[in-house]
Amino acid sequence: MSLDSALSTALRDPACIVKNSEGKERGVFAARAIANRTVVESSPVLLFGKDEYEKHGRFTILGHYAFKWKNGSMALALGLGSLFNHSDSPNVSYTVDSSNDLIHYVATRDIEPNEELCIYYGSNLWFDAVEQETDDGWSRLSKVDLPQQNLPAFLKGSLDDVVAEDDLPFERFKPPPEEETADTIRTIQAWAVDVPEPRSIGPMLNEVDASELGHLKRVRKLGEKNTFLLRVSPQPPSLPEDIVLPEPYLVTVPSSVALTSTSLSLKTALWPTIYAPRRKGEIEEWSKGKARWAWEAMRAVVQEALRWADNGELPVAAYVPRPFEVSDGPPSRSFIAHDTRQTMAHPLRHAVMNVIRQIADHRAASGEDVDEPPPSAPADTDADTDSPRNGTNYLLTSQILFTTHEPCIMCSMALLHSRVKEVVYLLPMEKTGGCGGVTSVPTLPGVNHRFSVCRWKGDTIREAGLELDGTIDA
Ligand SMILES: C[S@@+](CC[C@H](N)C(=O)[O-])C[C@H]1O[C@@H](n2cnc3c(N)ncnc32)[C@H](O)[C@@H]1O
């Protein structure tokens, strides 16, 4: 979402008012009923250096309002952002939109008119917190492994701390990179030019932007011949005007980094390629802030399933929340869907399929760009590689999907086609699951995308009244 549209949306629809909150001075309150997942506020932030804050700011009233931003900066939320009070059971979460210097505040459940809107500041509070007694409608799930009042250990401490792997609320299964062969390496066409004068290479490196080919080395040296990579075809190459060069020509180059040494030698035979092996077991670290975001997402999807189970549907839901860190690529809003096989009398209306369809419909209606790769470009093969095309294509690129049940094979395949980054599920489905149950779609040989799978720890959800049996395929 652009800065203009984020702010105008917030201004058009004032869901919040500021008033006195007992024992906390001012607070933000719901001006009307607010539905779960509504963006209640988008606050611009004022950024300042950490040194300035350490030397001056923290000794002033700013110490109550400033918080850590990216790249070591400090931030002060303008708008209503600085007026949200703290609660151990917040009804609002926030996502950092660093490309627009905004923070988006999002309701994590339905909120009644006049209820106070609170966020979670972390566990190291500098004041004695007053807690509001609220019934958040989650009581049925209080027996589930997603506690309401007592924060689980993995969420205690600063939100920037990294959560130890064992303390994460889920187990992660990261697929190994698929070993490539000469036949399966994906390639693209790129423009290159021979450079007769080696001393021209330095200036060309400065002048020619080939960031789209960041997974490749810029110059190939074969004997005395230096060849310089210019850009991806079909865009015409632009050459520095002050350097005399022959005509550029097309070369076939790998489309992504080399993850294994076999891949490196195969790819480098085409063009010198960057080697970026994943160390065994190396997986992305999660901060406590992100773990909290996941915890709230899992609560939201369980809540959705329970709500629809009460209305005669199968108790299955799927949720693609706004990303923890909003960047240019991913959708700027969340999507949630429940299973509609019963009410629609349609065997394919699984929750995961429904949420993917919702995203596709939203994109089509809003005219959001879904760039199809040019015919010469292959689908991105390596999960999590920095393929230059991996970003805006497909429906779920870079997204994490939460679901109550392990997706079935059909849904797992749909997730693969949507290029989802990670799937987090609560309940394993041994007889039908496509993410490790009956088979593991993302690790099948030959699939052209791999995604990570996370299984939420504990399945005490059964005690919460959800009737689950192995015959539901989610
Ligand atoms: C970011 S400000 C929130 C807005 C503040 N209430 C105001 O009127 O400006 C943070 C300060 O609000 C107060 N506060 C926030 N949450 C609170 C809570 N649960 N109980 C008591 N005071 C709270 C504390 O004084 C804290 O330093």
> Which of 60, 83, 127 to mutate for ligand 1's pocket (most ligand atoms within 8 Å of CB)?
127
pTM greater than the 0.80 cutoff: no
How does pLDDT run across 341-393, given as a tens digit for each residue?
A: 888 888 999 999 999 999 998 888 776 544 333 333 333 333 333 333 333 45
Residue whose C-alpha is closest to residue 382's, from 275, 286, 230, 294: 275
Per DSSP (E only), the strands in 127-276 are: 170-173, 187-194, 219-222, 225-232, 249-254
> Which of 16, 46, 64 to mutate for ligand 1's pocket (most ligand atoms within 8 Å of CB)?
64
Question: What was the pLDDT predicted at 108?
Answer: 79
Q: Residue 68 forms beta bridges with which residues?
A: 74
- On average, the pLDDT of the chain sits at 78
Distances in Å between the Cα of 114 and the Cα atoms of 23, 109, 111 are 17, 15, 9
In the block, residue with structure tokens 């979670």: 120
- For residue 88, report the distance from its CA to the centre of ligand 1, in Å: 13
Q: Nearest-5° angle of CA 407, CA 408, CA 414? A: 75
Q: How many CB atoms lie within 10 A of CB 20?
A: 10
Q: Residue 249 forms beta bridges with which residues?
A: 192
Confidence of residue 182 (pLDDT cuts 50, 70, 90): confident
Question: In whole angstroms, what is the distance from residue 40 CA to residue 42 CA?
Answer: 7
Identify the burial level of 459 via C-beta atoms within 10 angstroms of its C-beta, where 0-12 means exposed, 13-18 middle and 19 or more buried.
Answer: middle
What number of residues does the chain have? Answer: 474
Q: Residue 440 forms beta bridges with which residues?
A: 435
Residue pair 178/260 in contact by the 8 Å Cβ criterion: no
- For residue 287, report the distance from its CA to the centre of ligand 1, in Å: 24
> Which of 22, 25, 60 to mutate for ligand 1's pocket (most ligand atoms within 8 Å of CB)?
25
Atom of ligand 1 nearest to the CA of 26: 8
Position with higher pLDDT, 108 vs 380: 108
Whether the predicted pLDDT of 3 surpasses 80: no
Residue pair 125/85 in contact by the 8 Å Cβ criterion: no
- Domains located in the chain, CATH noted: 3-136 (2.170.270.10), 172-177+286-464 (3.40.140.10), 187-270 (no CATH)
How does pLDDT run across 152-162, given as a tens digit for each residue?
A: 666 667 777 88
- For residue 129, report the distance from its CA to the centre of ligand 1, in Å: 8
Atom of ligand 1 nearest to the CA of 82: 1
Question: What was the pLDDT predicted at 177?
Answer: 63
> Which of 84, 85, 92, 103 to mutate for ligand 1's pocket (most ligand atoms within 8 Å of CB)?
85
Question: What was the pLDDT predicted at 386?
Answer: 34
How does pLDDT run across 273-292, given as a tens digit for each residue?
A: 998 876 544 667 888 888 88
Residue of the nearest CA to atom 22 in ligand 1? 24
How does pLDDT run across 414-449, given as a tens digit for each residue?
A: 999 999 999 999 888 888 899 999 999 998 877 878
Residue pair 456/424 in contact by the 8 Å Cβ criterion: yes
How does pLDDT run across 5-55, given as a tens digit for each residue?
A: 544 444 555 789 999 999 999 999 999 999 888 889 999 999 999 888 888
Question: In whole angstroms, what is the distance from residue 345 CA to residue 343 CA?
Answer: 5
In the block, residue with structure tokens 């991913």: 330
Residue pair 306/466 in contact by the 8 Å Cβ criterion: yes
Residue of the nearest CA to atom 8 in ligand 1? 26
Question: What was the pLDDT predicted at 394?
Answer: 84
Residue pair 378/446 in contact by the 8 Å Cβ criterion: no
- For residue 65, report the distance from its CA to the centre of ligand 1, in Å: 9
Q: Residue 26 forms beta bridges with which residues?
A: 20
Position with higher pLDDT, 261 vs 122: 261
- For residue 139, report the distance from its CA to the centre of ligand 1, in Å: 27
Atom of ligand 1 nearest to the CA of 64: 27
Question: What was the pLDDT predicted at 149?
Answer: 38
Token couple for 192? 């290159």
- For residue 15, report the distance from its CA to the centre of ligand 1, in Å: 20
Position with higher pLDDT, 50 vs 306: 50
Q: How many CB atoms lie within 10 A of CB 146?
A: 22
- For residue 130, report the distance from its CA to the centre of ligand 1, in Å: 9
User: Using a 6 Å CB cutoff, which residues line ligand 1?
Assistant: 23-27, 64-65, 82-83, 85-87, 127, 129-130
Residue 28's contacts (CB-CB under 8 Å, 6 or more residues apart) are 16, 17, 18, 40, 41, 80, 83, 84, 85, 116, 117
- For residue 12, report the distance from its CA to the centre of ligand 1, in Å: 27
In the block, residue with structure tokens 């080939």: 210
Question: In whole angstroms, what is the distance from residue 154 CA to residue 268 CA?
Answer: 43
3-class DSSP assignment, residue 444: coil
> Which of 82, 83, 86 to mutate for ligand 1's pocket (most ligand atoms within 8 Å of CB)?
86
